[in-house]
Structure 1
Amino acid sequence: MAPSAVEVAPLPGITSPEVDKVGVPPGLKLIAPEKLDLRTDEEIATWLQLRHPVSSEKNVWAFWHSGYTQMTPWVQRNIINWVRRLGPDWTVHLLDRVPGSETNVSHFVESSFFPDAFNNNTMDGPHVGPHSGDLVRLPLIWKYGGIWMDAGSFLFRHVDDICWKQIEDPESPYEMSGFVIEMRPGVNCMLNGFIAAKRGNPFIKRWHDIYVALWEGVTNSEGFHKHPLLRHLPLLSPPLDKLNCPDLNLMMEAFSDYLAHFMCFERLRKLIDPTDGFNGVEYYSYSMLLFPALQETYYFQQVTGWSGTRQFELLTTQHTGEGVVKDDKWEAAESFVNDALANTSTMKLSHGPAGALDSFLADLWDSKEHQDKDNVEGTFAAYLRYGSVHFDQTRKMLPMQIEWPDEEVLDVAVLEPKGGVQG
């Protein structure tokens, strides 16, 4: 369990009664208010719905297919808190596909980057929103540089300190950063909910080209795992025992189709292109700053057995206020929140694939009954949100040591199937 918070005197410049009462948890320190964006939530929300020029590579990119106003409140609060936490040096761009929108992705990326199904709005199936995001994220990074974050993510550490300082350091070998997890026993794959790179990154462009090729002549992802560019890869099959995850209630074929973007990454990292010399194996081994996803974004899932219901119970526990009893439930909630704030850099909530788990916290917070439970005054959920903005971590993040993978290497062009046969 995480240690209890250190008792301190009331904190100057901080108005949260919770922090005044309980102090700053171990492993954390207060952020000076002048480093934050102190506009009101309403002012930031209005600003997010305007288009902003790209004046540097310090961009955080996010996407919501139907636009800011159609986001559930907890997701809106996520994005607002990113803006507040990152301060004036970073620009958060929240893009959409709403016709006539100021923040439509078409203002930033040309249609030539996308397949017909995206450009013609003919994508169908149950995953139009997530797969639209898969098509959007890499062109934005390639054209402008910066960091992609899924909108369902809490941010507990400044992106400069997660990876950007090392990416922009000319003495550093790192050009790209993200979180990795075992998608098959012993096989790590980078997730796509947090991707960082400078503009013009060679891996980013090739990764996108592979994914777009899957969409040629189709309107949904069904059967992507059988595509000529991916069919040499085994189906995704996470080692659930290692992840402390219950059985997934879906077929691995459907799971692999849903996460085909991950499989495109895997193809590229095991490929050496004889036409231009691009070496994905070497790039993955030496140019990527990679961190374990179970520590940095799925901690909350692992420690709760991937139960959204359990996470909801912990976060709705009353943290401070009259009548609070510091019983076992309270101590479990305190440990859960303090550990997340001090020892993880993000917390990624997702909705699916639908039915894969018994419960998702994102689904519970989406419901009208619970749509404000992520921010009820005095609860651990509200304290988690407050800490994500006002606390800085003191730990040093430890990247994974990636060794040259002992795997089959493809000696083919980026868009050439294994064996060179398209059919």
Structure 2
Amino acid sequence: DTRTEDEIVQHILSHRPVVHQKNVWAFWDKGWDAIRPWTKRNIVDWVRRLGPDWEVRVLDVAPHSPRHVRHFVDESHLPPAFNKFDHEHAGQHKSDMLRVLLLHLHGGVWIDVGAILTRHLDDIWSKIEDPNDPTEVVGIAIAMGGEAMPDRIMGNTFIAAAKGSLFTRLWHEVFSAVMKDRTSSLDVRLDPLFAHLTPLTLPGFTSSIKVPVEAIGDYLAQFTAAGRLFALVDPFVGWDDGPRFFQENLMLFDMDELFIQNVLTDWSGELQFAHLSRPRSEPVNRADFDQLASEIFVETSLERSIILKMSQGLLPEPVPLAKIWNRPENESADVAPGTWAEYLRWGSVHLDQ
């Protein structure tokens, strides 16, 4: 998409009825003006990368917004918790309650706004569209270093699904049932609907992450809701064989496809910031250790990812890159001219894997 950034933003801000399934959905509860500058640039670059065949929408619940959730879903399909959550992660959990419902009603791809998209989506979507391909849903496995998270097989940062999928309908219903009229996610991991699943563990995750596993279990309750379905056989609701669906109809990429930048740096946002803020020489001087290290970091990130998710919700330390970019003094650090960050942005739009 060759439009200017201002033209793309005006397009994103407009209301566009859903006319096909090649939609990219995202959400920021307080609206576009409340989104951080680097995060806005993520979304603008999605539009640039995908071109006119895909519609990118960022929904919200801001008063009088043309992108308000109510224009795309019947709010009665959302649990009462959607309007009751009042804690620090309320926006995140509202998006959890919304994302799978949007895919069920309209089809498309969900991407969290904190993600840099590094590839086109047409080849992934073609598997879902192909009547001869059994793939119904595409996502990212919760597995780091080849080790899967037991009973929580699929994450929710990146999900692709066709309109009307039984899996997305049931996933939304399970998650809505455990959220119901809550005002926070505290202890939601202990809901009776999850009682048959193993307690959350974090195999393959670095010891550098200093977050209690119980807090992560509550924060990632939607992962557990999907895990319930993969372990379930319930002909009464038409869900005849969850394990079979997992084996035959679900395509999962490795978690490195969204966290490769963290794998390369042991989750150190400060090291990532150092790589990206470094001036990039042209041609790259590989005799310079710092230049070589930054090149390896950036090129590997571009080559081995679908998205680069900049997480921040539950990560006090190591300090994530997202929180560093959030600082006022770093407002334009992700696009600073002549840096590896600028090259990463350019590569995410123009380079093919």
Shared fold per TM-score greater than 0.5: yes
Which residue pairs with 2:179 in the alignment?
A: 215
In the alignment of these two chains, the number of paired residues is: 349
Residue number among 319, 323, 339 corresponding to 1:359 in the alignment: 319
Structure 2 CA distance for partners of 1:171 and 1:384, relative to 1, 3 Å: same
Which residue pairs with 2:338 in the alignment?
A: 378
The answer to whether the 8 Å contact 1:181/1:189 transfers is yes
Which residue pairs with 2:351 in the alignment?
A: 391
Query: For residues 180 and 4 of structure 2, what CA distance do their matches in structure 1 show?
Result: 44
Deviations 1:179-219 (Å, cap 9, x if unpaired)? 10238866361110100010000110100101111122321
Query: For residues 342 and 265 of structure 2, what CA distance do their matches in structure 1 show?
Result: 19
Deviations 1:136-163 (Å, cap 9, x if unpaired)? 10111000000000011111110112x1
Please list every run of 5 or more consecutive structure 2 residues that lacks an aligned counterpart in the other structure: none
The answer to whether the 8 Å contact 1:351/1:360 transfers is yes
- SS at the partner of 1:329? helix
- SS at the partner of 2:334? coil
Residue number among 103, 106, 117 corresponding to 1:155 in the alignment: 117
Which residue pairs with 1:272 in the alignment?
A: 233
Instruction: Check if 1:51 corresponds to 2:15.
Output: yes
Query: For residues 285 and 325 of structure 1, what CA distance do their matches in structure 2 show?
Result: 44
Q: Residues 293-308 of structure 1 correspond to what in structure 2 (within 5 A)?
A: 293-294=255-256, 296-308=257-269
CA drift of 1:326 comes to 5.4
Deviations 1:32-72 (Å, cap 9, x if unpaired)? xxxxx111001111111111111110000011111111111
The answer to whether the 8 Å contact 2:142/2:148 transfers is no
Instruction: Check if 1:171 corresponds to 2:132.
Output: yes
CA drift of 1:390 comes to 1.0
The answer to whether the 8 Å contact 2:142/2:149 transfers is no
Greater gyration radius: 1
Instruction: Check if 1:133 corresponds to 2:91.
Output: no
The answer to whether the 8 Å contact 2:154/2:223 transfers is yes
Which range is displaced more, 184-193 or 171-180? 184-193
Deviations 1:218-247 (Å, cap 9, x if unpaired)? 2110110111111332332111xx34x224
The answer to whether the 8 Å contact 1:185/1:237 transfers is no
Q: Counterpart of 2:87 in structure 1: which amino acid?
A: G
Residue number among 139, 142, 155 corresponding to 1:181 in the alignment: 142
CA drift of 1:358 comes to 1.9
Q: Counterpart of 1:358 in structure 2: which amino acid?
A: P
Which residue pairs with 1:311 in the alignment?
A: 272
Query: For residues 286 and 304 of structure 2, what CA distance do their matches in structure 1 show?
Result: 26
CA drift of 1:327 comes to 1.5
The answer to whether the 8 Å contact 1:230/1:263 transfers is yes
The answer to whether the 8 Å contact 2:210/2:315 transfers is no
Greater helix proportion: 2
Which range is displaced more, 315-324 or 192-201? 315-324
Query: For residues 323 and 289 of structure 1, what CA distance do their matches in structure 2 show?
Result: 37
The answer to whether the 8 Å contact 2:89/2:313 transfers is no
Deviations 1:288-328 (Å, cap 9, x if unpaired)? 1111111x111111110011111111111111379989521
Query: For residues 343 and 63 of structure 2, what CA distance do their matches in structure 1 show?
Result: 37
Deviations 1:78-103 (Å, cap 9, x if unpaired)? 00000011001111011111011010
The answer to whether the 8 Å contact 2:149/2:200 transfers is no
| Aligned-pair identity (%) | 40
Instruction: Check if 1:345 corresponds to 2:313.
Output: no
Query: For residues 155 and 328 of structure 2, what CA distance do their matches in structure 1 show?
Result: 30
- Normalized against structure 2, the TM-score is what? 0.95
Please list every run of 5 or more consecutive structure 1 residues that lacks an aligned counterpart in the other structure: 1-36, 394-423
Deviations 1:98-157 (Å, cap 9, x if unpaired)? 011010111101111112232xx3212221011011011011100000000001111111
- SS at the partner of 2:142? strand
Query: For residues 110 and 178 of structure 2, what CA distance do their matches in structure 1 show?
Result: 22
The answer to whether the 8 Å contact 1:246/1:306 transfers is no
Instruction: Check if 1:146 corresponds to 2:108.
Output: yes
